[in-house]
Structure formats: structure tokens, C-alpha cells
Structure 1
Amino acid sequence: MNVKNKKCIFRLSYRSLRAAKKRNIIAVIAIILTTILFTSLFTIALSLNDSYQTYSFRQMGGYSHGTFKDVTDEQADKLITHSKIKAYGKRTCIGSIKSDYFGQISGEVSYMDENCSKWSYATPTTGRNPENSDEIAMDTTALKLLGTKAKLGTKIKLTYTVRDNKSKTFEKTDYFKLTGYYDYNSLMPVHYINVSKKYTENIIKEAKNNGLDDFRTDLNVMLKSSHNIEKQMEQIDKDFGYDWQTRDEKNSVRIGVNWGYTSEKVAENTDPVTLVGIVAFLILVIFTGYLIIYNIFQISVTNDIHFYGLIKTIGVTPHQLRRIIYIHALLLCAIGIPIGLFIGYFSGVTLFPAIISQTTLGTESTSISISPLIFVISILFSLLTVLMSCLRPGFIASKISPVEAVKYTDNSNTKKKKKHTRGAKVYQMAFTNLGRNKLSTFLVVISLSLSVVLLNTLFFFVNGIDMNRFVSRSVCSDFIVSTKSYFRYEIDGEHCISDKDIRRITANTDNRLTGCGYFLPSTDVVGWVDKKTYINMCKGTFSQKELQQNLNSIRKKRDKVASDPLIEGIDIKLLNKVKVISGSISPLKDKKQHNIAISVMTDDYGNPQNMGIYPKVGDKFTMSYIDDAYFIDNRTGKKVTDDTPEKYMEYYIAKEHEVTYTVCALVNVPYSMGFRYGSVTGYNVVMSTDSLKNDSRQKISPLFYMLDSKNKKAEIRTENYLKNITSAPSSSLSFESKAKVRQGFDSFKNMFILLGGLLCAVIGIIGILNFVNAVLTGIMSRKHEFAMLKSIGMTNRQLRRMLIYESLFYSVSSSVVSLITSVIFAVLTKRLFENIFWFFNGHFVILPVLLVAPVFIILSCIIPMLMYGNTEKQSVVDTLRDFV
């Protein structure tokens, strides 16, 4: 008959579960450990994601999904009604402060509504936002730079430049009362100085009376989804008939996308290789949990198989038997998973600060995730792992007949053995016992081997990271000093390192080599190339339509078109730091000749790329230096005035001179001693400082100042000196050094050691517990067999030896498998690591395998003795009686 009463099945399952308290404790511990693994990993992963986003948001100035730029009130009122927009905030910028005491981080005077100030990290933590026309709020660093204390009600004198959309300006000085302030984060691109809406309206009226135009108002928005932000905003523009690709037209509404959102980056950059890697990692984690939980339930089935056989005789169906096992599992999960979630989240939160401190994100962007996804995903993964682990034990219990259940000993090897008269050896018995359940033996060996293989792979990776290659690629001298603008890729003639700063640094440091790179801050230069070369330069950057528009609008001279070269002058004594790909840089030192080198693009390994677009050594290359140029009104041919509409403005070159150069070399200029970016439509040209000055006939400005110390002590002194002079908030200088790069390298390396070591430790613990479970399974399922052996004269000492031999087989087999697998992994991953990490230079290692093998052997001797000691308490007669 079929027992269909679900309550009866649940009661039967619950009571049978209560009867095996010790085994349940082991099962709950296994589930807790698996849940801790999942929860801590997801906590760390999501916290890293949140911290990376916070880091990016602060660099971009806020965390709104996107911005509709330069909108009118009418356009803003329409846009905010769109169904895709969940919330919005307005910001009207009326001016800025770029005086010396603000260093290179300018202050922007603007009105922000409540949402905008919140999304821009500019909501006062003390006080409130400005409401009246004489009120102001700003960060504490800006207050310090203005010489004012952070105290509510303090009077502040503020002088700033009022600036409209057309960059028309006038100076304005006003007095305010401080109503709110907050701490400044060094990642922020500007100091937000917030005034009231009423004050902003008054300034705009005053500005228009002085002949200025409209002011910039940006509409920041939060969409209903952060997926494909750019496409959503383009669709919003389309729905209202606006064009995001034009400017200053009636229907122009440009858009800005917050690329800090990782969901946006994933949508843009997800590729099959990344997805395969993520899936492979998740499978590895699930398999790790499966290895331990599977053996736990295998123990349960082994011990309760006689019970399952008996209840089958009273009508319990195979389906109901499987349900009993699943109810066991779910009841244990109800205990183990909540505990694992708590410990796992606490572990992740505790470990995360140590992990993020080893990254370039730093502690200022630390953000501990409290997303419910951590717990939902961890619960689902833990349940999935447990239920998967129940499949085979449930299958065994449901398929076995009542008669077979009475005789079941977890023996999957049913081959008939040959009889012989030789006496049995203990080690032979041990080897034979391992063949009883080959799957269980295989899983234990794999479980133990997995942690060793991962440890060896981690050691192989960390040992292969080449510091010298990493440092030489990142910085080519002991120190590079320049303005903060240079390191932020904002190079202009107004913010350059001064000759005075260079002399001061030189006088206070002990160096064996110094020099500068120079650029033209206020001179336009045209490089003449053929049309085919220009098209090849632009491939991948412009669409076919945009490329054709460029070709129609740019200057032409006979069969040549105008390109936009980036020209750098380098002091002769620094030229040896430039890597020559072909030709020679010696001619650059000849002041009488017009020679240049062309810097080519290279991959991470220094291999030249797209060489077809570059001239060959010995070719001629002509450049035109613009001596005098301005905008004219193409209707009148005269210089433009403030009233000239932009569409009638035309760039007019009044005077220029040409210089024809010989390309003497193709080179690779180190990233740290160049512009740090390339021209999309032109070559990066290198020449000597004297040639740049003489040929351009213009003033040149220092791009950076580079120095190499005489010795290690001098390097340390210089490091401390530069830290001292650049640490002040008002300082416009910053620097890079080999010491900083080494520190970053060590942090990067330590992050892998920490994360990889934790993963290896968890998997190692699981492997050892799985080993303990296998030994325990063997002992518990063979109590009757051991009693029979003892009844015919086998001693406890011989039984313990047999179990030790079985354990030694596990440890030796695991070590051999680990060694073989580690060799295979090293061969397979060497090329992979070298392709992913340009600074990797792999060397085969087996040290972790050799160190772990003795540990396994020691455990193989200790664990069986401890496990078997618990079975000696029951007499042979009582054990045999239990199985009659």
C-alpha cells in the first residue's frame, strides 16, 4: 500500500532525524561552513562593487544616473514627465573660483536643489542648505582654503568669476553667512560652493544686464533602472524630439552618462570569456560545498539504510523515501543556513577593510554592501548545494530492496573475488576496503587535492608577478613631479609646473639626473598627412558618417589633409629613457637639423600596434605652426564680437610657418613621461626641447619635471621632501615615484594572497572535514564487519593499522593527484596569466605540494585513531546482536 499522509511522512522524518543527534551536528556544521563560504564571498564581491562605484561616483562628482545638459526651464519641465525618470534634481552653475589658494581643484558656485546636493555628496552634515540670498554652504576644506573656520553663522567673503554659457565673465564679490558644511573627499573633482536659488536668480539678472547670456542649468536624473543608461536617455530625448548630438540649437539637449555604474559597464563590456569565467568560478564554489555535504548525507543513508528497508515493508514508496531525506536536509538547512548567514556576513564585513586597503580604491571609497541580494543568493546557493548533495543518497535509499537493506554495507564493488589460501595482509585489506565505494574514494581524493592545487596555482601566480617589469612600465624614473592637472589629464597653459618650483625642488634634493618634458600651451599645430593615412588613424573612433564630415570640414593642401599632432619636447639627457623601435634618436640631438621621432602605440607587452599608419624612418613630415589666428564672422570677414552667433563663427589663420622634418626614429615614449594620452587624429611627435622652442618660435611650458636620485638614502629623503611640499591642500603640485608604485604593487599582490589564501583555507578545511567524514563513514558502516573480524581473532591494534593504511592511501593519492594536476594547471595557466597580466613571468613551482604532503600524512595517522577510539566502547557481542 502507499502511505500518502504527508504529516505522517514529516513526523517520521523528524523523529528519525532526532534519533541521530551527533550526525546532525556534523551535518549542520557542514551546512554552516558552506553558507559561510557563499555569504562571505558574496559580501566581499558586492562590497567591492559598491566601493568601486563609490570611487567612480566621487571622481565624477555624483551618483545620479545621468544628466541632461544645458536645458531650458521649458525643456526641463517636459523631460521630468517622462515615465523612465524616477527622480530629478536641478543645478544652475553661475561661476567658479580658480585662484591660487584653491590649488588645482577649483570651486564651483552654484544652486543645487535637495536631490542634486544629495546625489553630489554636497548635503551639509552640519546645518542646512542655503535658503536666503545671503546664505552659503560648502565643504570644510574649501572653508579652510578661504581662511574661515567651520562654524555655523560665520561671515564669509567670496570673490568668484561669474561665467555664462558663452564663457563671458565678470568678477563678483559678496558676503555670506555659513548655514551648512560637510567634509570634503579628495576624490571629488571640484569644491561645490552652494548658494540659494534666490541669490542665483539675482546674479543671472545682474549678468544679463551686463551683456551676458543664459547660464548653464543641468537636469540630473535617476532612472527606474541603471541598465543601459545611455540608451534610455537617448530614448527620452527622441520621445520629446530633442537631439543629443548638436549644440546651441533649439532642439539640442545633450546627455551625460554616469559611467561609474558597473551595470552600465557590464552591459557595454560583457564578453563570452568573462561569462565563462564567472560561471566556472561559481561551479567551483558550489562543487566545494557539494564535496562535504554529499558525504554527510552519504553517512546518513549508510547508517539508516536498515531503517529505510524496514519502512519500505510497511508501504513507504521510493518517492516518499526521497522526500524523507529531503525533509532531513531542509530541517538541517533551517538550522545551519541562518547561522551561516550571520557568521558569513560578519566575516565578510570584518575581512573587507583589509582587502580594500590592498587595492587602488583606498579607504575613502570603502562601502560595505547591505544588499538583500547577499542573503538571497547565499540562501539559494546553499539550498542548491544541499539538495544536489541529496540526489545520489536519495536514489540509493529509494532503489534498495528491504532484503538488500539488511545486508547493505556501502559496498559498490560487486565483482566476485578469487579465492586463495594466502593469509590476508592488513594493508591488502585496507586497499580492498577502498575499492568498495570507488566514488566516495574518488571524491575524498579530489576534495583533498583541490585545495592543494588551488594553493599551488596561487603560489605559481604570486611568484610569477614580476615587480621590475611592473615598476618599469608604470614609472621610468625615481620621481616625476608636475601639477595635479597633469596627473588628471587636464593639460593647459595656465596650470603648469613653474620654473620656480623646479629650481626649489632641485635645490632641496640630491640627484644624478634631472630634466623636463615640454609642450606648446597656446600654439595650434597642423601635421600634413595623406587622406588614406588620416582615414586609417580615425578607424574605430569615428563612424563612416562622422569621418566623412571631418574630411569635408578640415583644411587641405594639395594631396594632404590637416591632422592634429601632439608635440613633446624632451631634454636631451632624458632621451635615453625612450625605447627605440627602429632608427636612431641620436639625430634629435643635432640642433642644426630638423629631426623628429614618432611615438607609436604599443600593447601591454611593448609590441608595436597598427604600424601601417606611421611614416617610415627617413620619411619627410611637414608641420605648420600657427603664429596668429582668430575667429571671424563669415558674413563680414571681420573678427567676431560678443553678439556674433556661433554658427557664423569661422576659424581664420592670419599667419603661420612651415617646418619639414626628417623622421629619424619610431619610438615608444614611456607612459609616465608623455602626455599620458594620444591624439585621435594625429601623431605623437617627439623632438628635443631646443628644437621645439626654435621651430615653433613660441613660448614652451614644462609638462613635468623628472629626477633620479643618487642613491637609496637620497631617494628616501626626496620622497619625504616631496610628500611635505605637496601635502598642503593649497599646493598645486603632485608627484609619482617608484616607491609609490612598489607600494601599489605590493598591495595588488597582497590582495591576491589574502583572497586566494582565504579561499584555499576554506577549501582545505572542507577537504580535511571530507576526509574525516570518509573515515567516519567507513567505521560506522562497518561496525558489524569489525565485530566479526575481532570475533575471529583480529586485534584492535590491527584494525587501527588497517584504517591508518586506508587514510595513508587517501593522503598519498591526493599528493600524487595534486602534483600531476598542478603541473597540468601550470602549463595551461601560464599562457593565460601572461595574456591577462602583462607583468606576469611564470616559473613552475611544486613547493606547496611538497609542504602539504607531510601534513596529510600526519593527519592520516591521527584521525583514524581518534575516530576508531569511539567504537571500542561497545562490546563485540552487543555489536553483533544489533545486526541480527
Structure 2
Amino acid sequence: MIKVNSKKVIAKLSWRSLKANRSRNIIAVCAIALTAILFTTLFTLGIGTVKSLQEATMRQAGGDGHAVLKYISDDDFNKVKDHPLIKEISYNRMLCDGLENPEFLKRHAELWYLDDVGLRLGFCEPTSGHKPAAENEIITDTKTLSLLGVPQEVGAPITLTLNIRGANVQRDFVLAGWWESDPTFNVGQILTSRAYVDAHMAELQNNYSEDHSLTGAINPVIMFKNSLDLESKLNTVLVDSGYSLDETAPNYLDHNVNWAYLSTNFGIDAGTMIALVSALALIVFTGYLIIYNIFQISVIRDMRFYGLLKTIGTTGRQIRGLIRRQAIFLSVLGIPIGLLAGFFIGKALVPLVIKQSSYSESSVSVAPNPWIFIGSTVFVVATVLISTRKPGKMAADVSPVEAVRYTDGNVKSGNKIRKSKAGGKPIKMALANLGRNKKRTVLVIVSLSLSLVLLNTVFTLSQSIDMDKYLSKFVDTDFLIAHADYFQNDFFGKANETTASFVSAVESQPGFEKGGGLYGGREEPFTVTDENNPSPGINSNEYGDFIAAVYGLDGLPLERLELIDGALDYDKLATGNYILEGVKLDDNGNPEMDSIHYQTGQTMTLHNEKGTGESLDERAYTAREFTVLGHVAIKTYSNSDRIAWGYTFYLPADVYTQLVAQPAMMSYAFNVEDRYEAAMGNYLGNYTENVEPVMNYTSKLVSATEFEGMRSTVIMIGGALSVIIGLIGILNFINAMLTSIITRRQEFAMLESIGMTRPQLRRMLGCEGLYYALGTAVFSLLFGVIFSLLIVQWFCGQLWFFSYHFIIWPLVLVLPLLIVLGVIIPLVLFTVTDKQSIVERLREAE
């Protein structure tokens, strides 16, 4: 057999075939570009959001180091620093227990020495001025300067009050440099020079193990070669350096992995994996539908051309290659357009996602990551090649005789001929025409339906975001007032309690309805005897009793307790013989019942330190027995001190105040009439700014604003994707109708030649479009209902702030528009393409 090199001929044929199909090319390029936009938008949105959240998390965690050792000495640092697993390690030394300047009441500040590695890993390198060198030079962030009232000028004087092992010391410094504050990191950083450390080394000796003073403690940040399996690497470093991982061992070093990197070690559960794969499959299928349909219709239209090629010896493989070349060339035109447009769409959507996260104030920067474009290109090219495979095979397999006689939707000779008096009516003929190519009809209907189902899904999700659930996690009353330290998770007791003057001022305002205080504190700790948990641990005292958080509630907070089991009997609680145990909630608001220590009806022993001595007998004198009346939910932001405790209990305020020497009100929750909410918010803002600056507040109004922003973001992002998929579906419909009209021009000419008028022809085409629209409506409604009940409802159940609501009105509203487009598009296309006379169209068959 003689081998002929026909690559140049095939390439020329492919190019000329492209030039002869300009309408097909335009539609194909648009389809490929839209598919690329879809992939690129999602890749940009996904990668950009993950990166932005991780960067914001790193900043909130204090840096991008992989791990940190806590409160170690110079000897410990020297033993660890040269371990082969460590790529680099910083030297971070705390220089006092705290800064006591009154300006730092609502935003704490810390004094540190960081070497060059620490400055870089902690995002603390000065962007103005220079690094501190002299003993009295410091650098800090801009918000700290603003709080101190210090201008952003090199050499500006700064006086700081340092708490060094309980004693306040004032020292004068000068500003050497500064950097822009990050909104996610709500702690001021003031950094000194190495010269300062050397000059004050006597007071910076690390005694943390003896007195728990932070002064002089070293907290080095470690970077490994990568972020994989960080926990294991850190453990290896500690063990190899001669330290124990047992918290009770004398050679134990406190340590932890940077939680900003924890996501890299988490596995994906089966439900999430199914959801991600399903979403990706849906996108691929959406792109496949239109690209496949475009090339299938193109092959059908050019079937006679491929038949003629086969008569002169062209092989099926060469015909497949010809179609594949055309697809690749069109991809070269369409993909770059889609990549560029998709990146900017995704870049615009990322800030909307971040805005609804806990890092809403973070700066967002979406860089053109190469993986965005590589991943999108790979998926689009794969979609194009998969989509053109079957049309190519169809063209390659057809015989020359069949190809010459081929028309769109040929009726096989074995089909029965049906007689009908109404068969010649345009409505009946339109319905019969859709049945001539059932596969294409189904594909067009499915592609149009996908965007409608997605649109309905978006609105279902937006309406299922439950404001009550969302607000109840943060504020379950209209307002919550407290000392500023409480909102910094730094409440201890009487020294930073909510003042009676603040409470009185609030209660005297118009619209005040009802309120109540939450009492607690760490100055007078409680312990419990738990016979079910005899093993002492880090949260137990020398007697084997476990440290517990006990809260007193009066008025509104007591009524707002969420009962899990048992009874919320106020009369029994008032006797002082009953107590409620708190139960932790997971992220979805479900109680973690395995955290319960006592069953309902069980007796437990509670100890407190009021008037106790050192001996066991004196301690036992303060013991008090309670019967567990039931279990209630621990609300971190409304009925606790915002710290996780192993044991948590609730009592009426009247009973609680009898158990402690100095009852301290942690917070005060209250409701107001709806029409006074805005006025009360303004009043509290002014009061905490000018009357009692040490006080602060939060409100339901703030959380409600965040909630509405989240709902808008869901609609905006989902709506954008719906529009893209909708354009793909409409493009598919236009292509199907256009090709159908072009391939049936001879058929239309024959119908006109036997008496069918132009208005009747237009009516028939309008009916075809109407049937497409009605078919889409039926499929969208059916599939939309099934998808909503089976998939969307399940998804809503996975997120704590969602409560599923079945809605179908978005579909119903869009369907009239779909019907209008279904009728108009075929008529416009017929008018545009109807340029030849009947005779000219009939001669095309010769």
C-alpha cells in the first residue's frame, strides 16, 4: 500500500471549510468563549477566595509562619533552631506583660522584639521610615499611632506604660517607622530594637514556668519547607530536640500549628466531594451541550460535502482530523477571549465573597494566577475535544451515497406513512419537525433548562438564609452592652464589669422594653467534682476537681436560654437547689451531646473559693450540691465569657450572687421597640465614645446588615453564573434554529412551490420555537422541583444559618420571557436568511 502524505491537503480543506461556515464559526467561537468564561470565573472565584481568606487568616493569626513555640527560653531556642526540618526560624521576644496606656482599652497593644525573619513572617516590616536600631527606637502600625495621637513622622516621641511582672513602668521612645494596619488583626504591634533587649536583659529573663509572666518569653515562629503535615513535623522537631509531647511532663514546650494552614490538612467529606464533582460535571456538561450541538449540526449541514470527500478517497480518520482541526482553530480564537473576560468577572466577585466572611475589612488582591488560566484552558479544550468526537465519528462513518442524499432528520424508509386531515397545518407540521431530530431537540431543551434551574436554585438559597438563625449566633437580643474588655475576650471580674451607670442610662431611654444582666468572672473560680471523669488533667486543681464556668442570669438572658432537654422551671431554679448544665453547639447549631457531664436529675457538687482556706476540709465547707434540671445551649457571643470551658453551668442571678464575694456583671442584654432601634444605636455609639469610653456594645442591626449583604452576594454571584449559562443556552437555541432553517431551505422551497404561503411558513417556525420554549418550561419546572427538594434542601441542611424554603416563582417569572424569545428568534432568523428565490433554492439540490 502506498502511503500518501495528505496533511497539507487536509489542513487546506479544513481552512476552506472554516471560511465557508462563517455563521457557524461565530456561534462556535462565542460558545467556546462563554464556556471559557464559565470555567475561568469559577477558577478565579475559587482560587482567589481561598487565597484571600488564607492571607486574611494568616494576618489574623499574626503571620504566615507554619508553627510557633510559646514562652520558651534562650536555651530552648538554641536547642531547636538548627533542626534539619526547619527552613527558617524567627526570634520573637515579648518585652512586657502588657501595655497599660488608656488609649489601648478597646484595642490592645503588645511590645515585642522581632528579628528580620520575624518582621517578614509577621507582616510587620515598615513601609515608611526604617527598622528600629537605637535602644529607644520603635516601629508600629498606623492604627496604634492614631490611638496614641502620634503623627506619622520619623522621630515623633511616644511614651508607653509597660506592665512588667505586675509593676507599671513608663518609658520614652521615638518613632522610627510604621506600616499600614490590617483590619483583621485587632491588636496593636509595637516593636523595638535588639539594642533595647540587650540593655534590659536583666528584666527580660524568662520566668514563665514559675510566675506565668509573659515578660521575656520567646515565641519563635517556624517555617518548614512546605505546609504538608505540619503537626507531625513540629512534633518531630520537639522530640528530636529532647522535649516531651506530654503536657504534664516537665520538659514539655507549649506549641501549636498556625491555624491558617489547617485547611491544607483537612480531608473532604463524601458529601462535599459529591457536591464539588457534581458542580464541575454540570459546567462541563453545559459547555458540552452547545459545542457538541454546534458541530453536530455543522456536520449534518455539510454531510454532502463529506460524502464527496469520501468518493475521492478521503478516509474517516482524515475527516475526523479535519473536524478536530476546525475545533482547535476556533478554540484558539475563543479561549483567550473567555479567559480574559472570566478572570475580570471572577476578580470582581471575589471581594463580594470576602465581604461576607469574618474578614470583611481585609484588603483583597486577586493576582492572575497561572493555574487559573491553565486549569480553565485544559477544561475548555477537553470539553471541545469531547464535544467534537461524536460529530466527527458521524461524518466519518457515513457512506458517500447516504451523504449525498442526506437532509436534516431524514425519515427512514421503514417508517409508517400517517394520513391526517390536520397534518398540513403549520402547528402540526412544527411539532412533526421537532420529532425529526429528537436528540437535538432534547439537547436544546436541556441546555436552556440548566440556566433556569440554576437561577431558581440561586433564589432558593438566598431565601433560605435564615436571619433568625444567623442573628441568634451573635446577638439574640436587640442590644448587648459590656465593658470593652468583654468584647476582647478578656473579662475577669469586678475591675471590668458593666457599670450600673451604663445600665441605668440605657433603661431610661425611650423604647426600652426589657433587659437583664449576665454575671460571671474568673477572679472567683468554681470547680466541680466529677466522679464520671476521675482522671486529673490540665483543667483540674490539686484536689482533682475540674475548673468550671458558672454564670448567673436575670431577666431577659434567663428567658432566652435555649433548652435542649429537661425543664426550664424558673420556680425550681429560684430555690437554689437546681442548676442547668451548658452544652456546646457545633457549627450548624446542633448540640454536642457527648460534651455533657451530668444527666438530667443527677446530683453534682459545686465548689467556689468564697472564704475558703488551704485544707481539703475548709474547701469542702464551701461545697454545694445541685440537681441538674436540664441542659441548655452555650451561646458563645451572648451567654458566656466567650472562652471555651470544659464545664459550664447556669443559675439564676439571685442564687449566683450568694456564691461569690463580689458579683460582677459581664454584660447586659436588652430589647427595644422596633421604631426606637436606630435611635438607641446612635445613643449607644455616642455614649461609649464620649460618656464612658471604657464601655462598648453590639447590636442586632449590625449583624442584620451583614446578613443582607450575604444574601445579596449569593444572588449576585449565582445570578452572574445563571446569565452565563443562560447565554450559552440561548446561543444553542439560536444555532439549532439557524442551522435547521439553512439545511431546510430546499424543503421550504418545495412547500412554497406547492402552495404554502410565507405567513404560514413563518407561523410554522414560530410554533417550533414555541414548542422549544414550552418543552423547556415543562422540563425546567419538573427538574427544578426535583433538584430543589433533593439537592438544595440537603445543601441547606449542611449550613447552620440556612433554613430551606421551597420556591418556584423565579422560574414562573422567567418563562413568559422564554416563550417570547422562543417565538421571535426563529422569525428573525428566517427573515435574515430568506434572501433567495424559490427557483434558486430548488436548484441547490441538483
TM-score (norm 1): 0.87
> CA shift at 1:220, angstroms?
1.7
Match of 1:438 in 2: 438
Match of 1:635 in 2: none
Residue pair 1:619, 1:663 contacting (<8 A) in 2 also: yes
Compare 769-778 and 240-249 and name the one that shifted more: 240-249
1:355–1:726 Cα change, 3 Å: farther
Q: Of 623, 627, 639, which aligns to 1:658? A: 623
Take 1:207 and 1:488, find their aligned partners in 2: how far apart are those partners?
27
Take 1:481 and 1:595, find their aligned partners in 2: how far apart are those partners?
28
What are the residue-to-residue correspondences of 1:770-785 with 2, within 5 Å? 770-785=732-747
What is the SS of the residue equivalent to 2:259? coil
Residue pair 1:17, 1:24 contacting (<8 A) in 2 also: yes
Match of 1:688 in 2: 652
Q: Determine if the alignment matches structure 1 residue 480 to structure 2 residue 442.
A: no
Q: Determine if the alignment matches structure 1 residue 176 to structure 2 residue 173.
A: yes
Residue pair 1:527, 1:621 contacting (<8 A) in 2 also: yes
Q: Determine if the alignment matches structure 1 residue 740 to structure 2 residue 742.
A: no
Match of 2:44 in 1: 43
Residue pair 1:474, 1:672 contacting (<8 A) in 2 also: yes
1:120–1:317 Cα change, 3 Å: same
Match of 2:833 in 1: 871
Match of 1:202 in 2: 199
1:838–1:187 Cα change, 3 Å: closer
Take 1:194 and 1:284, find their aligned partners in 2: how far apart are those partners?
52
Backbone CA RMSD of aligned residues = 3.3
Q: Determine if the alignment matches structure 1 residue 126 to structure 2 residue 123.
A: no
What are the residue-to-residue correspondences of 1:389-788 with 2, within 5 Å? 389-411=387-409, 414=412, 416-419=414-417, 422=420, 424-425=423-424, 426-472=426-472, 474-493=474-493, 494-507=495-508, 510-531=511-532, 534=533, 548=535, 550=537, 562-572=545-555, 574-580=557-563, 581-587=565-571, 590=574, 593-601=576-584, 610=593, 613=596, 615=598, 619-627=602-610, 657-668=622-633, 670-675=635-640, 681-682=646-647, 684-696=648-660, 698-709=661-672, 711-726=673-688, 731-788=693-750
> CA shift at 1:843, angstroms?
4.3
Residue pair 2:589, 2:800 contacting (<8 A) in 1 also: no
Take 1:489 and 1:736, find their aligned partners in 2: how far apart are those partners?
14
Q: Of 769, 772, 785, which aligns to 1:823? A: 785
Take 2:633 and 2:197, find their aligned partners in 1: how far apart are those partners?
50
Take 1:93 and 1:612, find their aligned partners in 2: how far apart are those partners?
36
1:81–1:415 Cα change, 3 Å: farther
What is the SS of the residue equivalent to 1:260? helix
Amino acid in the other structure paired with 1:693: T
Compare 88-97 and 67-76 and name the one that shifted more: 67-76
Compare 782-791 and 200-209 and name the one that shifted more: 200-209
Take 1:295 and 1:752, find their aligned partners in 2: how far apart are those partners?
31
Match of 1:277 in 2: 275
Take 1:565 and 1:417, find their aligned partners in 2: how far apart are those partners?
83
| Structure 2 unmatched runs, 5+ | none
| Structure 1 unmatched runs, 5+ | 163-167, 536-547, 633-650
Q: Determine if the alignment matches structure 1 residue 16 to structure 2 residue 17.
A: yes
Residue pair 1:2, 1:315 contacting (<8 A) in 2 also: no
Residue pair 2:525, 2:549 contacting (<8 A) in 1 also: no
Take 1:42 and 1:693, find their aligned partners in 2: how far apart are those partners?
57
> CA shift at 1:665, angstroms?
4.5
1:317–1:374 Cα change, 3 Å: same
Take 1:474 and 1:190, find their aligned partners in 2: how far apart are those partners?
21
Take 2:599 and 2:203, find their aligned partners in 1: how far apart are those partners?
59
> CA shift at 1:669, angstroms?
5.8
> CA shift at 1:694, angstroms?
1.5
Take 1:553 and 1:664, find their aligned partners in 2: how far apart are those partners?
25
Match of 1:644 in 2: none
> CA shift at 1:442, angstroms?
0.7
Take 1:552 and 1:175, find their aligned partners in 2: how far apart are those partners?
40
What is the SS of the residue equivalent to 1:599? strand
Take 1:68 and 1:843, find their aligned partners in 2: how far apart are those partners?
48
> CA shift at 1:619, angstroms?
4.3
> CA shift at 1:130, angstroms?
0.7
What is the SS of the residue equivalent to 1:290? helix
> CA shift at 1:479, angstroms?
0.5
Take 2:696 and 2:617, find their aligned partners in 1: how far apart are those partners?
38
Take 1:269 and 1:660, find their aligned partners in 2: how far apart are those partners?
44
1:629-666 deviation per Cα after TM superposition (whole angstroms, max 9, x unaligned): 8999xxxxxxxxxxxxxxxxxx9987851222344444
1:19-62 deviation per Cα after TM superposition (whole angstroms, max 9, x unaligned): 32332122111111111111122212222212222332222122
1:179-204 deviation per Cα after TM superposition (whole angstroms, max 9, x unaligned): 10122233214211111112112211
Amino acid in the other structure paired with 2:561: V
1:686–1:819 Cα change, 3 Å: same
What are the residue-to-residue correspondences of 1:154-303 with 2, within 5 Å? 154-162=156-164, 168=165, 170-205=167-202, 207=204, 215-246=216-247, 249=250, 252-261=252-261, 264-303=262-301
> CA shift at 1:474, angstroms?
4.2
Amino acid in the other structure paired with 1:776: L
Residue pair 1:86, 1:223 contacting (<8 A) in 2 also: yes
Q: Of 93, 107, 113, which aligns to 1:105? A: 107
Take 1:551 and 1:381, find their aligned partners in 2: how far apart are those partners?
52
1:258–1:764 Cα change, 3 Å: same
> CA shift at 1:17, angstroms?
1.8
> CA shift at 1:810, angstroms?
0.8
> CA shift at 1:797, angstroms?
2.6
Take 2:768 and 2:89, find their aligned partners in 1: how far apart are those partners?
69
> CA shift at 1:226, angstroms?
2.2
What is the SS of the residue equivalent to 1:38? helix
Take 2:538 and 2:249, find their aligned partners in 1: how far apart are those partners?
23
What is the SS of the residue equivalent to 2:782? helix
> CA shift at 1:337, angstroms?
1.0
Match of 2:140 in 1: 138
> CA shift at 1:553, angstroms?
7.9
1:660–1:751 Cα change, 3 Å: same
What is the SS of the residue equivalent to 2:183? coil
Amino acid in the other structure paired with 1:92: R
What is the SS of the residue equivalent to 2:103? helix
1:103-149 deviation per Cα after TM superposition (whole angstroms, max 9, x unaligned): 14322211212332232222222112112223111112222333322
Q: Of 825, 831, 853, which aligns to 2:815? A: 853
1:72-111 deviation per Cα after TM superposition (whole angstroms, max 9, x unaligned): 5565566555554444432122123134321143222112
Amino acid in the other structure paired with 1:802: M
Residue pair 1:628, 1:655 contacting (<8 A) in 2 also: no
Match of 1:63 in 2: 64
Take 2:216 and 2:641, find their aligned partners in 1: how far apart are those partners?
33
Take 1:751 and 1:874, find their aligned partners in 2: how far apart are those partners?
51
> CA shift at 1:691, angstroms?
1.8
Residue pair 1:600, 1:614 contacting (<8 A) in 2 also: no
Compare 821-830 and 177-186 and name the one that shifted more: 821-830
Take 1:856 and 1:458, find their aligned partners in 2: how far apart are those partners?
18
Match of 2:344 in 1: 346
Residue pair 1:355, 1:754 contacting (<8 A) in 2 also: no
Q: Of 751, 756, 770, which aligns to 1:794? A: 756
1:820–1:573 Cα change, 3 Å: closer
Amino acid in the other structure paired with 1:314: I
> CA shift at 1:524, angstroms?
2.7
Match of 2:381 in 1: 383
1:724–1:311 Cα change, 3 Å: farther
Residue pair 1:456, 1:822 contacting (<8 A) in 2 also: yes
TM-score (norm 2): 0.90
